[in-house]
Amino acid sequence: MTTAVERSAAAPVSGIEPARAAARRPPAEEARRPLWHRVLFIAALVGAAVIFMLPFVWLVSASLRPREYVFAPGFLPTPFSPENYAEAWQAVPLLTWFGNSVVVGVAAAAAVTLSSAWVAFGFAYFRFPGRNVLFGLVLATMMLPFAVTMIPTYLIWSKLGLTDTQVPLWAGNLFGSAFYIFLLRQFLLALPREYFEAARMDGASYPQLFWKLAFPLIRPALLVAFVFEFKASWTDLLKPLIYLRNEQLYTLPRGLKVVLDRFGYGGEQQWEIVLAGSVLATVPMIILFFLAQRHFVEGIATTGRKG
């Protein structure tokens, strides 16, 4: 499961702070380099970029070719066969899986963002006995491999009769998550305390401080948490593998695995269906990245989280 890995991945490190545009090398300095140096530099950069992009190009192009042309040389979708997508649509309940992924992703992301912000406010605003020990414990949970808690957690959901429902895929997020608590606490600590003291003087309650004052002020950080968790949920295979039996409940990655097993290897080698499904699972993440690019980059750069 990617999320467990990613959660264990976050920790504060000195030297990792948001990239600052001001630190960039001014163009004049670039121009002083010898020509061959600059040519080499551009060749390396463009070459690397092409290598990283070619798998995408091939994926999209091959998904638009007829079955017998999937492995044809070249990067153009010729002959053109957009019917693959309709075919995939008919072969498996792609739309249902897509909807499931959206519902589970939004539930998981909203739950973890709200609860983590609530808890983070507790750590950032109050001074109370045991605070540092508890916060240390929060951070320590990030070290624990998912495998250790995986089986008993499954037994809990099973005792509650909630296996083969989507509840286990997001409900654990209602209790906050270490990485996001850490991230949001950092943002809350950066807010001037006078804001809160002034609101207290005016008679605001603590939940009001959180909801009316802190919450709007850390909106960028809340978005970071939301998009990260949505992505983690959207790409997760392990939890759906453990909890879901009914195909109608599958999320896209779980469904995609079925598509691969049924139509790819061991099946009838209908790779065009497998590829169309892969593109459909990937495109929303690409769009999400372009919509929330700033938040992804900021999130990784400020916390050193592995996306």
Residues 167-206 that bind other proteins (CB under 8 A): 172, 174-176, 181, 186, 189-190, 193, 206
Q: How far is the CB of 255 from other proteins (least distance, A)?
A: 9
Q: Considering beta carbons, is residue 82 or 145 the nearer one to other proteins? A: 145
Provide the H-helix boundaries in 64-93: 83-91
Site for other proteins in 38-77 (CB under 8 A): 41, 44-45, 48-49, 52-56, 58-59, 62, 70-71, 73
Q: Give the integer Cα–Cα distance in Å for 48 and 167.
A: 42
Please tell me what DSSP assigns to residue 162: -
If you write DSSP's letter for every residue of 117-131 in order, what string do you get?
Answer: HHHHHHHHH---TTH
For the record, the structure tokens of 195 come out as 């804001």
Q: Considering beta carbons, is residue 30 or 247 the nearer one to other proteins? A: 30
Closest residue by Cα to residue 85 from 259, 270, 269, 275: 275
Closest residue by Cα to residue 304 from 102, 8, 52, 4: 8
Site for other proteins in 119-178 (CB under 8 A): 119, 121-129, 131, 134, 137-138, 141, 143-156, 158, 172, 174-176
Q: Give the integer Cα–Cα distance in Å for 254 and 97.
A: 9
If you write DSSP's letter for every residue of 242-262 in order, what string do you get?
Answer: HH--SGGG--HHHHHHHHHHH
Q: Give the integer Cα–Cα distance in Å for 265 and 222.
A: 42
Site stretch for other proteins (CB under 8 A), options 78-86, 88-96, 218-226, 233-241: 233-241
Which residue spans within 53-144 are E strands per DSSP? none
Q: How far is the CB of 303 from other proteins (least distance, A)?
A: 9
**Exposure of 245 by Cβ count < 10 A (0-12 exposed, 13-18 middle, 19+ buried)?**
exposed
Site for other proteins in 90-119 (CB under 8 A): 115, 118-119
Site stretch for other proteins (CB under 8 A), options 25-33, 88-96, 102-110, 218-226: 25-33
CB 251 within 8 A of CB 280: no
Q: Considering beta carbons, is residue 150 or 199 the nearer one to other proteins? A: 150
Helix or strand (DSSP H, E) at 223? helix 219-235
Q: Considering beta carbons, is residue 50 or 95 the nearer one to other proteins? A: 50
Which residues lie closer than 8 Å to 38 by C-beta, 6 or more apart? 30
Q: Considering beta carbons, is residue 89 or 118 the nearer one to other proteins? A: 118
Q: How far is the CB of 92 from other proteins (least distance, A)?
A: 14
Site stretch for other proteins (CB under 8 A), options 76-84, 85-93, 215-223, 288-296: 288-296
Q: Considering beta carbons, is residue 102 or 174 the nearer one to other proteins? A: 174
Query: Which of 169, 183, 231, 276 lies at the binding interface for other proteins (CB under 8 A)?
Result: 231
Pattern 245-274, other proteins, x by CB under 8 A = -------xx--xx--xx--xxxx---x--x
Q: How far is the CB of 169 from other proteins (least distance, A)?
A: 14
Q: How far is the CB of 11 from other proteins (least distance, A)?
A: 7
Q: How far is the CB of 86 from other proteins (least distance, A)?
A: 20
